[in-house]
Amino acid sequence: MEILLVVAILGMVAGLGGGYCIGTYQRLLVEKTARQLLLMATYARIMAIEQQRPYELQLDPGNRGFLLMTVQENPQTGQMERMIVRDFYCRPVEFPGEVKFEQVLLTSMLGETSEGLDLEQKVIFLPNGSAESAVLQIGDGRNRYSVAVVAATGKATLYAGTMTDIDTVSIDLDLQ
């Protein structure tokens, strides 16, 4: 009887611990994907400045991931072509499990704002270090992280939580 009681207690403790571990694992998947987005945005800014050509952080309209593109000369044809960036530091990212873009807020260079995931959403990083303003929220329904890209500097920042927690007001430095 005592052995059965010990086995039952161990089973309950293992069940509680397993549930906690699954929730932690799902949170870590969301955080890892958000950090990959942050690193790709930072890499896009650095490469745009270094290579003196625009880089585009493309969001998959099917909400399955994101990738980095640029315009580059094809050595065989001599023509300028859009190419996916695949190197030691950057590869296309596919969302794991239930992770997806929950909210997207992009402001283009012309001042047009778009929300949601439309066809060919992208954040463009320019050779002068600036970028299109963007706030991208990644989550799985319970866990959420947001990445904000500042237009004037092209700098990306990672925030834990929803995009409503982020101040997206742009400041006109000429007025101050």
pLDDT string in tens for the chain (176-residue length): 888 888 888 888 777 766 666 678 888 999 999 999 999 999 999 999 999 999 999 998 888 899 999 988 878 888 888 889 998 889 999 999 889 999 888 877 655 566 665 556 899 999 999 999 899 999 988 899 999 998 888 999 999 988 876 765 555 555 54
Q: How many CB atoms lie within 10 A of CB 48?
A: 23
pLDDT at 73: 80
Q: What are all long-range contacts of 107-111, with beta carbons under 8 Å and residues at least 24 apart?
A: 107/132, 107/133, 107/134, 107/151, 108/132
pLDDT at 20: 63
Cα three-residue angle 110-174-170, rounded to 5 degrees: 50
Beta strands in the chain (DSSP E): 55-59, 65-73, 80-84, 93-94, 100-107, 113-115, 121-125, 133-139, 144-149, 156-160
pLDDT at 112: 59
| CATH topology assigned to domain 19-169 | minor pseudopilin epsh fold (3.55.40)
104 touches 117 (CB < 8 A)? yes
Q: Could you tell me which of 168, 162, 137 has the C-alpha nearest to residue 150?
A: 168
Any idea of the CA torsion for 78, 80, 85, 89, to the nearest 10 degrees?
70
Q: Which residues pair with 160 in a beta bridge?
A: 145
Domain ranges of the chain: 19-169
Q: Could you tell me which of 154, 108, 164 has the C-alpha nearest to residue 127?
A: 154
Give dist(CA 31, CA 160) in Å, integer.
Answer: 8
- Tokens 């994907």, located at residue: 33
Give dist(CA 25, CA 46) in Å, integer.
Answer: 31
pLDDT at 176: 46
